[in-house]
Amino acid sequence: MAKIVILGAGLTGLSTAYHLEKNNFFDFTIFERESTHGGLCRSVKHDGFTFDYTGHLLHCNNTYFQTVLNEILPPTTRNTLARKSYIHSHNHFVPYPFQMNLHGLPTEVIAECICSFAKRNHQHNNPQSFHEWVLKYFGTGIAKHFFFPYNQKLLQYNLKKIHPSWTGRFVPKTTIKNLFTGLANQENNSVGYNHTFLYPKQGGIQTFTDNLRKKITCSIKTNYNATNIDLKKKIVSFDNGHTEKFDTLITTIPLKNLLQNSTQPSSCNIKKNHRYLRCNAVVNFNVGFKGTSIDKHWIYFPEKKYPFYRVGFWHNFSKSLVRPEHGALYGELAYLPGQLREKELNQRVEKSIEQSCQIFGLSKNKNIVSQKILHLPNAYVIYDHWREKNLPALHKALRDHSVYSIGRYGAWNYSSMQDAILDGQKIATKLLHQFIPAQIYKKKREKKKKERSSEAHAIVL
Ligand SMILES: Cc1cc2nc3c(=O)[nH]c(=O)nc-3n(C[C@H](O)[C@H](O)[C@H](O)COP(=O)(O)OP(=O)(O)OC[C@H]3O[C@@H](n4cnc5c(N)ncnc54)[C@H](O)[C@@H]3O)c2cc1C
């Protein structure tokens, strides 16, 4: 039995392991459902192209993350790119962010956006929903032409039932001055959390995850799908028959699944809540084509006539992702599980591929050479009011049983790769402070460290 059991070897699980080992703590075991580590930060090789599970770009605004990043993905091994991102509206590419760059849109749309921004409703001083939050900060015009249709398509959920906390640091606000400078065609394009970003030179985003994995000496038990978590007995059971006892459980699997698959003591009544946790799913379609003239990174599509919400281009992140003289497009469309029949979903995907290729002048007869569809069964957590009110109590109840549910789906939030690394660091620091009296574990640690370094060497050879 290991003192700490980690469920999931995505970035959060790997970061936890990395930070425990960095502090000379080795008494833990990681279990992963898939045959390899990485979670959402894996890349797929197909027909000479490399596709991530949709665009995964590294953004850094934290000094500690910067240090880890420099160690895991040193500057010489990554591209630093200045965002070229747009919103496709009225057959025009509006530079991102929409709320600052209205130049080029039809005059009546510009007038509607500016007038309603000036008259925006100050009744919503304390917005209770994302819908009200948008009206408070942007007015009805910008809401109508961008925020409402885009977020509706992305989240597939009634925006009046979404809590405003969903926006966080991700949505840049605007001012009358920004609106006018944007109108004079002076692009306000260095705003927002992602105006520059990093991407591995080789191998897709998986290089970042693989490099992190290489820093960890412990082996990862892959093909271990946790099917039951007994909170009272502190035992995790897996679908291959294995059971593992734990003192402390760090879980990065979706909170919804954790609750659904838990056995709870009579004093704790949280299992039933899995029904109220909502998350959408995303289909990521990828198309490889001849030619590389498209220079955009990614484009948002708010208009209803397009089923997809975003399209991007792999070859502009790194040339290594595509065949020589080729480019590759990716697109994303979202749905709520249970909302669509498979046939209807497939039709939407087909339509999305057709429309997005048409917009960028790609055709099967002319230049398309490859296609790959990837599924993300959990993508964007829905910040509804139930979540806002009840999530802290769920986490507390789990913590009371020494279970820490962290990472994007463990914590059940909207977070980035940076957050995943920081989540792992935080939980490792917390636990190390909590229960590692150095003398007790010193001998055990040294022994495990020795064992693992000989294991690691054996693997390298
Ligand atoms: C559409 C989309 C686009 C994104 N784009 C970006 C971006 O551009 N930049 C950015 O910084 N972030 C982006 N992210 C966020 C980023 O993907 C996550 O923050 C990060 O990958 C979360 O890592 P994690 O380890 O918490 O979760 P995961 O990657 O989901 O890892 C969880 C692991 O648990 C395993 N697991 C699940 N169930 C079980 C089980 N029952 N038993 C054992 N193991 C199990 C899974 O297989 C997986 O390996 C994006 C996310 C999405 C959905």
The torsion angles phi and psi of 180, rounded to 5 degrees, stand at: -75, -40
Ligand 1 atom, smallest distance to 417 CA = 11
% residues pLDDT > 90 (the chain): 80
pLDDT, one tens digit per residue, over 49-95 is 999 999 999 999 999 999 999 999 999 999 999 999 999 999 999 99
Distance from the alpha carbon of residue 93 to the mean position of ligand 1, in angstroms: 30
Ligand 1: does its nearest atom lie under 6 Å from the Cβ of 12?
A: yes
pLDDT grade, residue 458 (50/70/90)?
A: very low
Pocket test for ligand 1, best of 252, 297, 381, 415 (most atoms within 8 A of CB): 252
Ligand 1 atom, smallest distance to 282 CA = 1
Q: Flag the least confident range among 108-122, 176-190, 382-396.
A: 176-190
pLDDT, one tens digit per residue, over 170-203 is 788 888 888 888 888 766 666 665 689 999 999 9
Ligand 1: does its nearest atom lie under 6 Å from the Cβ of 113?
A: no
HEC string of the chain equals CCCEEEECCEHHHHHHHHHHHHCCCCCEEEECCCCCCECCCCEEEECCEEEECCCCCECCCCHHHHHHHHHHCCHHHEEEEECCEEEEECCEEEECCHHHCCCCCCHHHHHHHHHHHHCCCCCCCCCCCHHHHHHHHHHHHHHHHHHHHHHHHHHCCCHHHECHHHCHHHCCCCCHHHHHHHHCCCCCCCCCCCCEEEEECCCCCHHHHHHHHHCCCCCEECCCCEEEEECCCCEEEECCCCEEECCEEEECCCHHHHHHCEECCCCCCCHHHHHHCCECEEEEEEEEEECCCCCCCEEECCCCCCCCCEEEEHHHCCHHHCCCCEEEEEEEEEECCCCCCHHHHHHHHHHHHHHHHHHCCCCCCCCEEEEEEEEECCCCECCEHHHHHHHHHHHHHHHCCCEEECHHHHCCCCCCHHHHHHHHHHHHHHHHHHHCCHHHHHHHHHHHHHHHHHHHHHHHC
Distance from the alpha carbon of residue 408 to the mean position of ligand 1, in angstroms: 6
- Hey, whose CA ends up nearest to atom 49 of ligand 1? 39
Ligand 1: does its nearest atom lie under 6 Å from the Cβ of 164?
A: no
Q: Flag the least confident range among 53-57, 233-237, 313-317, 360-364.
A: 360-364
- Hey, whose CA ends up nearest to atom 1 of ligand 1? 379
Domain boundaries, the chain: 4-41+205-273+385-460, 98-183, 281-376
pLDDT grade, residue 439 (50/70/90)?
A: very low
pLDDT grade, residue 284 (50/70/90)?
A: very high
The alpha carbons of the chain give a radius of gyration, in whole angstroms, of 23
- Hey, whose CA ends up nearest to atom 35 of ligand 1? 8
Ligand 1: does its nearest atom lie under 6 Å from the Cβ of 8?
A: yes
Provide the pLDDT for residue 451: 64
Ligand 1: does its nearest atom lie under 6 Å from the Cβ of 415?
A: yes
Ligand 1: does its nearest atom lie under 6 Å from the Cβ of 97?
A: no
Distance from the alpha carbon of residue 251 to the mean position of ligand 1, in angstroms: 12
Ligand 1 atom, smallest distance to 15 CA = 25
Query: In the CATH hierarchy, which fold is given to the domain comprising 281-376?
Result: Alpha-Beta Plaits (3.30.70)
Q: Which residue has the tokens 């509006």?
A: 94
Pocket test for ligand 1, best of 42, 408, 427 (most atoms within 8 A of CB): 408
Ligand 1 atom, smallest distance to 423 CA = 26
Distance from the alpha carbon of residue 253 to the mean position of ligand 1, in angstroms: 9
Ligand 1 atom, smallest distance to 380 CA = 53
Class of domain 4-41+205-273+385-460: alpha beta
Q: Count of CB atoms within 10 A of residue 93's CB?
A: 16
